[in-house]
């Protein structure tokens, strides 16, 4: 299968996940292209059999170049899967909602979604702690410490397994 893994990543977390997914698909002998969404030509997406579209979460939304791609693309392949990394301890099930209509129009099936925690390495820990209300700062500090280094090896193995599972 001709597969595109397109991802928006600024500090490398989502990119690590995308690379792990490519490794998994390479092991299965697939023809895989890995591209940052800022380098994706929206008109090229249709030429793949399957797209894995990924992003970091910024203010509850996809990264800018992923948003641009979602806005500009008109034609999609028969199958798509989503993935995203996020710092908060909750999923964002509606993050690709803006693609919904286009999925319907193209008869594109969503065959899976993968999400995992990605530590925020862009802001100093203290700044992140201070964003929580005073009574929740200790809890916030513990949480931030607990997700240091993620995505970790276990997350990346899960990403790889997820990508392979899409072929079944």
Ligand X SMILES: Cc1cc2nc3c(=O)[nH]c(=O)nc-3n(C[C@H](O)[C@H](O)[C@H](O)COP(=O)(O)O)c2cc1C
Q: Which stretch binds ligand X (CB under 6 A): 102-110, 112-120, 138-146, 158-166?
A: 112-120
Residue closer to ligand X (CB basis): 24 or 54: 54
DSSP assignment of 96-149, as one string?
A: TGGGHHHHHHHT-EEEEEEEEE----SS-HHHHHHTS-GGGHHHHHHHHHHTTT
Site for ligand X in 2-41 (CB under 6 A): 9-15
What sign for the dihedral angle of Cα 7, 34, 106, 70?
positive
Residue closer to ligand X (CB basis): 77 or 155: 155
| Look-up of token digits 């690709």 | 96
Q: Which of 58, 103, 110, 125 binds ligand X (CB under 6 A)?
A: 58
87 binding ligand X? (CB under 6 A): yes
Contacts with ligand X by CB under 6 A lie at 9-15, 56-60, 85-88, 118-120, 122-123
């Amino acid at each position: 299968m001709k597969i595109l893994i397109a991802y928006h990543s600024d500090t490398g977390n989502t990119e690590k996940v995308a690379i792990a997914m490519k490794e998994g698909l390479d092991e299965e002998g697939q023809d895989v292209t890995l591209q940052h969404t800022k380098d994706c030509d929206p008109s090229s997406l249709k030429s793949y059999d399957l797209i894995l579209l990924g992003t970091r979460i910024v203010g509850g939304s996809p990264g800018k170049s992923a948003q641009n791609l979602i806005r500009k693309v008109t034609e999609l392949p028969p199958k798509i899967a989503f993935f995203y990394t996020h710092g908060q301890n909750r999923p964002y099930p509606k993050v690709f909602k803006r693609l919904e209509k286009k999925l319907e129009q193209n008869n594109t099936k969503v065959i899976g979604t993968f999400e995992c925690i990605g530590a925020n390495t862009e802001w100093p820990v203290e700044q992140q702690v201070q964003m929580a209300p005073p009574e929740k700062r200790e809890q916030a500090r513990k949480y931030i410490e607990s997700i240091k280094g993620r995505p970790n090896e276990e997350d990346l193995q899960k990403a790889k397994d997820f990508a392979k599972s899409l072929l079944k």
